[in-house]
Structure 1
Amino acid sequence: MSTIDWLLEGDPAIRWQTLRDLADASPGEVAGERARVEHEGWGARLLALEDADGLWAGGACFPRDPAPDDEGQPWTATMHTLQTLQLLGLDPASASAQRAIALVAENGRWEHDGQRYFDGEVEPCINGRTIETGAYFGVDVAPLVERVLGERLADGGWNCEVENGSVVSSFDTTINVLDGLLAFDRATGGSDEVREAIRGGQEYLLERGLFRRRSTGEVADATYLEAAFPYYWQYDVLRALDHFRDAGAAPDARMSEAVEHVRSRQDGDGRWLLDRVPRGAVHFDLEPVGAPSRWNTLRALRVLRWWDSAA
């Protein structure tokens, strides 16, 4: 079985993106497969877990009643579920998406200070993800975009630890804000200021080869070389490379070490393993850790296709 055939045996969320990104299928075929996300597989399972008020697990960032023995952050609340539905490709125009987003806008409140959901919280890593899902699902998040634009640091990126005295950016916060600004730019046409901020944040990552400390050249965090999915707020090089691909950026020589690292992780069957998932309670596992991952394989293959096409 070819790798593409193996991907096409997966969930509708995998199939429609494989058809679009790797198989050059017609727009009609892609749209038809994408429509199944709402009614079948992972997308349907997540939608079925939505509470009557439109939230998941009763909370914005944290569940109302977290498991007492949970290790790590629980990932069952609204923010993480909406991000996952977006990554699955739930059609924003679908009835389920429109219903959920309207209810989240009406009933969602952040645990930090009771702010309305799409008004955002205080941390740019949270606000970047809120911008991304809001823009994707058709919510006006322009005021929140203005806020994060004003929170850029001198090195071009962002960091949630500014309130604790940090004056340099972080990989994790920066990728969350970049994904949000890219979604906003795509949904609204953006502005010169938004596009300049995207370029600045991307340059922050590129100056570090996507995973190294600029000061010493050392690997900034060993987990950045592991491919996780879902990744929630966490950074890794495959996520970063997929961001550059999705942004339509030109391949840059400073990405080459990260690209070759991703390439080196392909197994003899042409697949990539799921290296890890962030610790914490989930609604259900998408894929088992340590096994061949359709998510990582899809993302790695489309990154390599983008990279190699410019060679």
Structure 2
Amino acid sequence: MSVADWLMAGDPAIRWQTMRDLLDADPIEVVDERARVAREGWGARLLSLQLEDGSWDHGAWWPSGRRDTDDGQPWTSTAHVLLLLTHLGVDPDAHQVREAVGRAFASVRWEDGDQPFLEGESEACSLSTAISIGAYFGQDMATPVRRLVKDRRSDGGWNCDPPWRSSRSSFHSTIGALESLVAHRRATGALAPEAGEAFLDGQDYLLDRHLMRRRSTGEIVDPAYQRFSFPTYWHYDVLRALEHLRESGAEPDERAGEAIDMLRARRSAVGTWPLENTHRGRVPFVMEDGDGRPSRWNTLRALRVLRWWEERA
């Protein structure tokens, strides 16, 4: 079985993105396959878990208000499920999807400040998540975007900690903010000048650090950045950063060359990439076979990153 055939044997979420990003399939066939995400497989399972109160697991970020446990952070709440649906590429115009997100947006409120879901909280992580979700599902997120832009740090990125706690940016927070700005730009067609400047500065923050290193010493910031996960949730890794650069339409930059070499080196003899760093915590359901096993998600993501790099370099 070829790698493409193996990917096409997966969930509809994998199939339609493989058809679009790797196989250059007929756009009508891609649309038809994408429509299955809301009706079958992982996407349909996530939609079916919505509760009568409009939430997933009775919470915006924390299920039923619960915080971290010895088993890690729960990933079953509204924000994490809706963000995962955007990664699956569920059709936002599908009837059952419109109904589900409409109920969530109308009823779910954030735990720390009781804000409506689409407003996000004051810190960059939940605010970025709200922007990414709202923009994907056709909501006007201009006001939260302005708040996010004002929250960036002087070194060009973002940090979910308040400025009095940390004046420096975080890889984790910066990648989430950048992804949300891409989502907003895709939904609206353009970024306001201040947001556009913040976006470019944020990308430079990551690229100046070669997507994984300290600018001051050149040391790897965290070995976990070199291990590829999916879903990433709020966690940063190099593949997530490369995917962002591809999604944003950026031109290949030599500062990402080391990360590309690392990505190529992780490819197995049969052409697949493994799942390497599953983040601890309760999940709605397991999508893949576990760390060390071939991952359709990471293989799809790696192949389209390399295609972007090699075709545009």
Q: What is aligned with 2:85?
A: 85
Q: By how many angstroms is 1:113 displaced?
A: 1.4
* 1:15-164 → structure 2 map (5 Å cutoff): 15-64=15-64, 66=66, 70-164=70-164
1:197 aligns with 2:195: no
Q: Distance in 2 between matches of 1:112 and 1:238?
A: 31
Q: Distance in 1 between matches of 2:66 and 2:162?
A: 28
Q: Distance in 2 between matches of 1:282 and 1:240?
A: 23
Q: What is aligned with 1:173?
A: 173
Q: What is aligned with 1:11?
A: 11
The verdict on how the C-alpha distance between 1:160 and 1:24 changes in structure 2, with shifts beyond 3 A counting, is: same
Q: Distance in 1 between matches of 2:142 and 2:215?
A: 32
Q: Which moved more, 1:250-259 or 1:282-291?
A: 282-291
1:259 aligns with 2:260: yes
- Whether the 8 Å contact between 1:38 and 1:90 is mirrored in structure 2 is yes
Q: By how many angstroms is 1:69 displaced?
A: 6.0
Q: Which moved more, 1:192-201 or 1:205-214?
A: 192-201
Q: Which moved more, 1:29-38 or 1:63-72?
A: 63-72
Tell me the SS of whatever aligns to 2:130: helix
CA displacement, residues 182-238 of structure 1 (integer Å, 9 cap, x when unaligned): 100110123222222111100000000000000110000111000000001110000
Gaps of 5+ in 1: none
Q: By how many angstroms is 1:95 displaced?
A: 1.1
Q: Distance in 1 between matches of 2:141 and 2:248?
A: 19
Q: By how many angstroms is 1:155 displaced?
A: 1.1
Q: By how many angstroms is 1:310 displaced?
A: 2.5
Q: What is the TM-score of this pair, normalised by structure 1?
A: 0.97
Q: By how many angstroms is 1:289 displaced?
A: 2.1
* 1:298 partner letter: L
- Whether the 8 Å contact between 1:35 and 1:91 is mirrored in structure 2 is yes
Tell me the SS of whatever aligns to 2:121: coil
Gaps of 5+ in 2: none
Q: By how many angstroms is 1:162 displaced?
A: 2.8
Q: Which moved more, 1:56-65 or 1:232-241?
A: 56-65
RMSD of aligned alpha carbons: 1.3
Q: Distance in 2 between matches of 1:48 and 1:236?
A: 30
- Whether the 8 Å contact between 1:227 and 1:236 is mirrored in structure 2 is yes
1:226 aligns with 2:240: no
Of the three residues 295, 305, 308, the one matched with 2:310 is 308
CA displacement, residues 236-290 of structure 1 (integer Å, 9 cap, x when unaligned): 0000000000111000000000011011000011000000211111111111222
- Whether the 8 Å contact between 2:74 and 2:281 is mirrored in structure 1 is yes
Q: Distance in 2 between matches of 1:40 and 1:101?
A: 18
Q: By how many angstroms is 1:141 displaced?
A: 1.5
CA displacement, residues 92-121 of structure 1 (integer Å, 9 cap, x when unaligned): 101122112211121111000111110111
Q: By how many angstroms is 1:140 displaced?
A: 1.4
* 1:237 partner letter: V
* 1:40 partner letter: E
Q: What is the TM-score of this pair, normalised by structure 2?
A: 0.97
* 1:309 partner letter: E
Q: By how many angstroms is 1:88 displaced?
A: 0.2
Q: Distance in 1 between matches of 2:219 and 2:52?
A: 48
Q: By how many angstroms is 1:163 displaced?
A: 4.3
- Whether the 8 Å contact between 1:156 and 1:201 is mirrored in structure 2 is yes
Q: Distance in 2 between matches of 1:67 and 1:140?
A: 30
- Whether the 8 Å contact between 1:37 and 1:44 is mirrored in structure 2 is yes
* 1:263 partner letter: R
CA displacement, residues 27-55 of structure 1 (integer Å, 9 cap, x when unaligned): 10110000000010000111111111221
* 1:209 partner letter: H
Q: Distance in 1 between matches of 2:39 and 2:76?
A: 20
Q: Distance in 1 between matches of 2:260 and 2:196?
A: 24
Runs of 4+ displaced beyond 3 Å: 65-70
- Whether the 8 Å contact between 2:123 and 2:162 is mirrored in structure 1 is no
The verdict on how the C-alpha distance between 1:9 and 1:247 changes in structure 2, with shifts beyond 3 A counting, is: same
Among all aligned residue pairs of Structure 1 and Structure 2, give the percentage whose two residues are the same amino acid. 52
Q: Distance in 1 between matches of 2:169 and 2:67?
A: 32
Q: Distance in 2 between matches of 1:305 and 1:65?
A: 42
CA displacement, residues 102-145 of structure 1 (integer Å, 9 cap, x when unaligned): 11121111000111110111210111111011100011111111
